[in-house]
Amino acid sequence: MANVKDIKVVQPHNRLIGPMPKVGIRPVIDGRRRGVRESLENQTMNMAKAAARLISENLRHPNGLPVECVIADRCIGGIAEAAMADEKFAREGVGVSLSVTPCWCYGTETMDMDPYRPKAIWGFNGTERPGAVYLAAVLAAHSQKGLPAFGIYGRDVQDANDTSIPEDVKEKILRFVKAGLAVAYMRNKSYLSIGSVSMGIAGSMVDPGFFQDYLGMRNEYVDMSEIIRRIDEEIYDKEEYARALQWVKENCKEGADNNPPEIQKSREEKDKQWEFVVKMTMIARDLMIGNPKLAEMGYEEEAMGHNAIASGFQGQRQWTDHFPNGDFMEAMLCSSFDWNGIREPFIVATENDCLNGVAMLFGHLLSDRAQLFSDVRTYWSPEAVKRVTGKAPTGLAENGFIHLINSGATTLDGTGQQTDKDGNPVMKPYWEITPEDAAKCLDATSWRPASLGYFRGGGFSSNFLTKGGMPVTMSRINLVKGLGPVLQIAEGYTVELPEDVHHILDMRTDPTWPTTWFVPRLTGKGAFKDVYSVMANWGANHGAISYGHIGADLITLASMLRIPVCMHNVPEEKIYRPSSWSAFGTTDLEGADYRACMNFGPLYGKK
């Protein structure tokens, strides 16, 4: 039984350099004095306050910090007041703007002109003043100027004195703000490559142009030998190391060794490898975010880190042919807890597959939760399951399922051992995770000595089975020559198989790795006409899996970055993109998305 009863939840804090982006609220008003403006001041400012209250009460940053809203000091009736608001927003670190109005205003004189700041306009649906008219006029101006903005307009007419926010408006405001904050938070952070290309996997061929032009991010590179240097020269916090090693001995149970007896590592060798992988984990974290303790030890440069919001570790094969693999390091960093407490998970991509790492980053920023990194390994048809096991799949799995499995960065949160108030398996934001949740995840995981056929240097791979019944979303970024990045999305569910069926199927691959059985939600057409088609249309060997059905949020985020979505099963009524997209077609939404993204170009790139 894991010994974590005294584990603490780490207080929310920003572990990266740069302020947390804030949401700017712009109350926009009819600028005509001598009666018109004066009659609207209170209503307009109250809309801004209501929007700010909605956002602050419902959203947090992924690190647990509250989302702060900044309201312009005065209503914006013209260019001078727009400039005043912009000056305040720059001073306050606003990364997303929401304009609100109940009335007609002067479009181009009041609009937000910042080219990099995601922006939306909520036009009050009332009859006394034409808020919808301003909304349409200013959205047209945004399109004409090449500054796409999101329109928010309630379905039902409200009375002028109605200060409530309709549910459909709430949904759009929160979806827009969460995606916009993700855009702002990524900007000027880095992706850290520890190593280079793994086994010829194209996703680990890091394209700095993609990161710079689409995400506004830097790329940092460190050779894997830096980990050995820091181990050999003891450039890590020794007090933390002693505490970490003791915690691992108490909470990370070693599983059975499946290697042939004649090549198995000795007990002494395995103990040394446990010491090694714990040091690897600490060092990779220090490389990402730095560690002030190192400066106290005289290593000021190493103490700085790389301000990495995400990273990847090459591992295979140059490292793993000689040293213990990175599986423990990746899985523990990607989990929401370790010897330092329950804390925000890191994003670390196996095999330095940066494109899957970006999809993991998207999922984390939108869901606030840890992410699974998996091979999209095998499609099991009902017929194949029946032939191999003698039993046909039933329930959610009756039309077949996909085996998600990988040796590396599958978070221990992915065991599904965390539960909600009704006992259902969930994955929680870290600040909601209890010591009991963490203990159950650890108890459900065994650390199997690495398969020496794959990993000659040894190490330990996490082994668990994900509980069924969790709503999840699998996503992936792919780069296509001549087209650029595209995003794939598949919402679905984890499923449980009968124990004997799971055992037979799992033993046909590598039983030392974590398994998730996944069933995508089918639509009966296109890539989602059946489970086989989902597997056949998936664009790479890896997928990033997030708890919850966050496909609509991913679509909104992708539109902000100008990344077209080439495959998804999100209901059409949930799709929310800038209003400009309708100018590129309203029947074929997928084609319109491609045309709009191509027309406007990457958010930070030059057309």
What positions carry a catalytic annotation? 351, 375
3-state secondary structure labels for all residues of 451-484: CCCCCCCCCEEEECECCCCCEEEEEEEEEECCCE
* CA 562 – CA 213 distance, rounded (Å): 10
- Checking DSSP bridges between strand 542-547 and strand 22-27, what pairing results, if any? unpaired
SS3 content of the chain, % helix, strand, coil (to 5): 40, 20, 40
Exposed, middle or buried, 139 (CB in 10 Å: 0-12/13-18/19+)?
A: buried
**Single-letter residue type at 430:** Y
* Residue 400 C-beta-side C-alpha neighbours within 13 Å: 18
Longest dimension (CA), the chain: 93
Supply the Cα-derived Rg of the chain in whole angstroms.
Answer: 25
Please spell the DSSP secondary structure of 299-316, one letter per residue. Answer: -HHHHH---EEEEEE--T
* CA 361 – CA 125 distance, rounded (Å): 36
Paired tokens of 28: 């926009």
Helix axes 225-232, 267-289, angle to 10 degrees: 110
- Cβ contact 381:393 at 8 Å: no
* CA 323 – CA 233 distance, rounded (Å): 17
* CA 530 – CA 542 distance, rounded (Å): 20
